[in-house]
Structures are given as C-alpha cells and as structure tokens.
Amino acid sequence: MEAMVLRENSLIEKGPLERMELPVPVPGPGEILVKVSACGVCHTELDEIEGRLKPRLPVVLGHEIVGRIERIGSAPKRFHRGDRVGIAWIHSACGECHFCREGNENLCPEFRGTGCDVNGGYAQYTLAKEEFAYPIPERFSDAEAAPLLCAGAIGYRDLRLSGVERGQVLGLFGFGASAHIVIQIAKYWGCEICVFTRSERHRALAVKLGATWTGGVEDEPPKRLHCAIDFTPVGETVPKALALLEKGGRLVLAVIRKRDLIPPLDYSQHLWDEKEVKSVANITRKDAREFLSLAAEIPIVPEVEEFRLEEANRVLLLLKQGKIQGAGVLKMGG
C-alpha cells in the first residue's frame, strides 16, 4: 500500500514526509483493517513532525480517518465487513486504571494516540481496535466526516470543558479546522460568539457561520467573555484572552503544544476575580460518539479543502501558514 511516512523530526518546510510502499497490515484479535477513504490534516501532526510531541518513529501520521472495514481480526462484535467507520486520536486506553474507570480514558497512562504511538491514516489502509471505531452518520460524505473526528470531537470537548451556557458570550482565538466547527455548536446552543483572528479570509468565514463580532487579538470586543477557547499555537494569546474574560470566566487551551512560552501573567489583570485556565488533553470515546450524533442533529456543515495523499507535505505547510480554509483533508485514490 502507499503511505506517507515520517522517519525523523524536521521542520515541515523541508517536506519530511516520504512516499513509501508498505505491506498492508494484518488485523490481530479485536482489530479491524480499514481501507482509508479520507484522512483529515491536524495541527497535532505539525507538533509530531517538528518534535514538540514525540511520536514513535518511523510513523504513518493521521488521526481523522474515514474508511470501510476490509477485514476483521476475530469474531466481530460491533461491525461488519464493508461498514463505514471513523477512527479518532484515541487508539486505545487500558480500561482498568482509575482514569478509565471514571470515564476519563483520555488521561489513562496507557493512552495510545492514532498516528503517533501506532500508524494512522496517511495511507491506503490502517488498523484500529474495533472498540475504538465509530459509525459515521449518513448525512456526511467521507471528506466531510474526517475533520469531525478530531477538530470536531475535540472542539466539542473544549466547549463542554469551557462550561459555556446558553446565551453567554464565548471568545474563540484562532479560526481553523476546530473553531469553525465549535462556532456552529455554540450558535446552536444560543451563545454570542466573538472570533479573534488576523486572517481576513478566516474572519469572513466566521461571520458567515454566525460570529457576532470579529477582530484581531489586539482589538477589544463589545462585551466581556464568559468563556474563551484558545486554538492558537502561540503563547501570547493566553494573557490577551485572560484580560478579556468576565469575572469567574474560564479560558480553555485547546492545543496539545504551544510553539513558544506563555508570557508572564499579571495576577490582578489576568487571574484575579476567580478566572480559570484549563487545558484539554485527548478525547474519550464518549466525546466522539456524542459529538457525531450532535453533528448530524444540528447539522454541522464542515468546510473542507481536499488534497491527494502525496500532497501531505504541502497541505501541512499551508496549515502552518494559516492558509487552509476550514479543514484540510487527504482523499485516497482507488
């Protein structure tokens, strides 16, 4: 099978993913072999490629996978051959530790990430655990469904952890794949949404999707923010977002790594009055399941730009430069 493989850490500008022929993997007990149809491109891949996150190497990246089941490794429990399924960032967790028992399998010490600890979806085939695959609602095409599996499902978790309530003001910092889905849920929940991004194209999309106000990080929105979600990879947005929070407000940091340090915080300006900061790590199966059914109910309209598998290096560079509108998706031929 054809795959784009990362062999060593490097800046994405150097085009480090190599096109290679690999054997089609064989599913073991409890595993399914999935013929990949579409795989979303996520910021986390940039962290893996550039070494801020340590994947096992060599690795096939990609954790927003949609495809059909080609083979099942043992007696099938939930799916049949030919079923369309989605695979997300959570490849597996131990199921026994206290985090898993309390439903926080995203924090399990044995947590394994798809396209990080095991090979992912930048390939024609991939393996997954049957227990960690999800049926995809019919209304979404393969390419539309791909970004729902990370950008969407993690965005849903971000939104839940922000504690935002109906009618409140929500601030979104950065407006890429995840934020453009989060805004649609928040709108459905009756929130007012302020979007902070320097890209004119991203601001136009935000307005189209229901933003009540758009501006840059330096700008002052008309109202204080009850909650905010920071999707940007830079440190400087953290004090800026905290300064705009309402008393008792919460800032959620949605990225897995920041590219640079968070500047010093001033206690009275940024934290006093019971402001909170919370990070979000990984997702649970419950997040993915709940979000996929909510996405079909709203319905979420994912904005996707499609590319071919062998264009992965270029798509990731465009992503780093903030030039992807909505979500970038690799479509497999044949």
Find the part of the chain contacting Zn ion (CB under 5 A) among 90-98, 192-200, 218-226, 297-305.
90-98
Q: How far is the CB of 115 from Zn ion (least distance, A)?
A: 9
Assess 92 for contact with Zn ion (CB under 5 A): no
Assess 20 for contact with Zn ion (CB under 5 A): no
Q: How far is the CB of 147 from Zn ion (least distance, A)?
A: 9
Query: Which residue's CB is nearer to Zn ion, number 44 or number 214?
Result: 44
Q: How far is the CB of 330 from Zn ion (least distance, A)?
A: 13
Unique residue bearing structure tokens 């709108």:
187
125-129 vs 31-41, strand pairing mode: antiparallel
Assess 44 for contact with Zn ion (CB under 5 A): yes
CB 107 within 8 A of CB 169: no
- What 3-state class would DSSP assign to 200? helix
Alpha carbon of 219 to those of 125, 215, 251, 267: distances in Å? Answer: 46, 6, 18, 21
CA–CA distance, 308 with 37 (Å, rounded to integer): 11
**Which position among 61, 69, 108, 128 is part of the footprint of Zn ion (CB under 5 A)?**
108
Assess 194 for contact with Zn ion (CB under 5 A): no
Of 42, 54, 131, 52, nearest in space to 89 by CA: 42
Find the part of the chain contacting Zn ion (CB under 5 A) among 93-101, 138-146, 176-184, 311-319.
93-101
Query: Which residue's CB is nearer to Zn ion, number 42 or number 169?
Result: 42
**Which position among 32, 33, 42, 186 is part of the footprint of Zn ion (CB under 5 A)?**
42
Assess 168 for contact with Zn ion (CB under 5 A): no
CB 265 within 8 A of CB 248: no
Residues 6+ apart with CB under 8 A from 105: 90, 93, 95, 99, 111, 284, 285
Q: How far is the CB of 109 from Zn ion (least distance, A)?
A: 7
Residues in region 262-301 near Zn ion by CB under 5 A? none
**Which position among 93, 159, 242, 255 is part of the footprint of Zn ion (CB under 5 A)?**
93
SS3 content of the chain, % helix, strand, coil (to 5): 30, 30, 45
Query: Which residue's CB is nearer to Zn ion, number 97 or number 217?
Result: 97
CA–CA distance, 222 with 174 (Å, rounded to integer): 18
Assess 100 for contact with Zn ion (CB under 5 A): yes
Find the part of the chain contacting Zn ion (CB under 5 A) among 26-34, 42-50, 224-232, 285-293.
42-50
Assess 39 for contact with Zn ion (CB under 5 A): no
Total of residues contacting Zn ion (CB under 5 A): 8
Query: Which residue's CB is nearer to Zn ion, number 3 or number 150?
Result: 150
Residues in region 118-157 near Zn ion by CB under 5 A? 150
Residues 6+ apart with CB under 8 A from 14: none
CA–CA distance, 112 with 107 (Å, rounded to integer): 10
**Which position among 20, 24, 53, 94 is part of the footprint of Zn ion (CB under 5 A)?**
94
How would you classify residue 322: left for phi > 0, otherwise alpha for psi between -120 and 50, otherwise beta? left
Query: Which residue's CB is nearer to Zn ion, number 93 or number 244?
Result: 93
Q: How far is the CB of 100 from Zn ion (least distance, A)?
A: 3
**CA 135 from centre of chain:** 18
Q: How far is the CB of 191 from Zn ion (least distance, A)?
A: 23
Residues in region 233-262 near Zn ion by CB under 5 A? none
CA angle (108 as vertex; 5, 24 as ends), nearest 5: 30
Residues that bind Zn ion (CB under 5 A): 42, 44, 93-94, 97, 100, 108, 150
